[in-house]
Every structure is written in structure tokens, then in C-alpha cells.
Amino acid sequence: MRRVALIVLLSIPTAWAADNRTPFVSKPASEYPGHQTLDKITIAAAPFVTESQQASAFGKADLVKYGFLPILLVIENNTGKTIRLDLKAEYVDAQNKHLESTPPGDLVLFNGTHKRGWNPPIATPIPLPGRSKKGPLNTWEIEGRAFSVKLLPNGERASGFLYFETPNKPGSRLYLTGIKDAASGKDFFYFEVPFENEK
């Protein structure tokens, strides 16, 4: 009887540890080196390229190793209104080449090799054999910490990650559109936020 009780007690901390999802908390946008304020909206874009930065957000998943750049996006709304975020995010390099963000659902399906013309598998409503998420980036943090907020009330801050299939290049920036007044649907000005690594 004592052995059974001991096994049960020892298994409880293990179960808690397995579901220990520590929340990722961003700093205020103005505290990141790359930030911009327009129309009382402040946006920060911070590349997470070092091992310690990636570990703090994604655990053991090393996105940079596999050619993906995670960018922390922080948006603060002080407009006095609720804003709608129908975001379109593009990575723009020093030569003005635009690259759209990679959906987080594609990253978890990444098979670990970049081949010419590689594309993520086509999504289907019914799981098919051979489409299991077994790649090196199959971790809940990739999708769980992606930027997904659609409405941001006045005085609030939202954060999450965007992903780009590119290395971090000097002189690059985030080009962001799709921020609207939730009541009128009127667009706010676009943002161009430089990518600057934290010291």
C-alpha cells in the first residue's frame, strides 16, 4: 500500500512539470532599441537571434539555425480608441527587397531541410498519413507565442512573434500595415520599424 501511495505522489510533480508553460512577457515598446511612434501608437520590432533570446521564448527550438528569423512585435495603443489589427508584415532589407512573414503553422511542419522551392505542405481538413508534425520546430511556443491579437483597446499593449525565412541583415526593417480604427475602419499610417539588436 505504501508503495502505491509513493508512486502516485512522485508522479504528481512530473505531471505539473510537463504542463509548465511559463508565459513570455514583453517589455514596453519604448524600451526596445527598434521602435517607432505615430498617431499615438508605439510599435517595437526586436529580432531574437541569440541562443539566450530564443531559449527565453521558444525553449529548445533554434529557429535561426534553420534559417528563420523570429521578430518580437510589440504594439501599444494610446489613441483613445480601440484599434483593429488586420496586420500585413513584411521584412524589408537594405536593398528594399520585401519578404512576407511565414505563418507559424508552416514552421511547425518544417522538415528540417531547405530545398530549392520548398513549400509547406498544403493544409487539409482531414489529417493525412505522413503529415504529422515531427520537424525540429514542432513546439507549442511557435504557434502559441505568435502575434495573434485582432483588437487592441485604448491603453493596452499586445505582443507576439512574427517569423521570416531570412537571416537578420544589417539595415533591415519591419514594414507593417493593416492598423485601423475599429469603429470607422479608417487606416492608420503604415509603420517602418528598424530591426535593432538589444545590447
pLDDT single digits (tens) 60-77: 899 999 999 999 999 999
**Residue appearing with cell numbers 522538415:** 111
- Tell whether the model's pLDDT for residue 166 goes beyond 60: yes
What's the longest Cα–Cα distance across the chain? 71
Contact between 49 and 34 (Cβ < 8 Å): no
Q: What is the mean pLDDT of the chain?
A: 82
141 pLDDT above the threshold of 80: yes
Compute the distance between CA of residue 26 and CA of residue 106 in angstroms, rounded to an integer: 24
CB 61 within 8 Å of CB 108? no
Range of lowest pLDDT (65-74, 75-84, 187-196): 187-196
Which residue type occupies 180? Answer: K
- Measure Cα distances from 158 to 11, 25, 39, 147, 152 in Å: 37, 10, 17, 8, 7
Per-residue pLDDT reduced to its tens digit, 25-63: 899 999 999 999 999 999 999 999 999 999 999 998 999
Q: Which percentage of the chain shows pLDDT scores above 70?
A: 76
> Is residue 169 over pLDDT 50?
yes
In this prediction, residues 166-180 reach a mean pLDDT of 94
pLDDT for residue 109:
84
- The pLDDT-based confidence of 119 (bands split at 50, 70, 90) is low
Taking residues 144-158, report their average pLDDT. 96
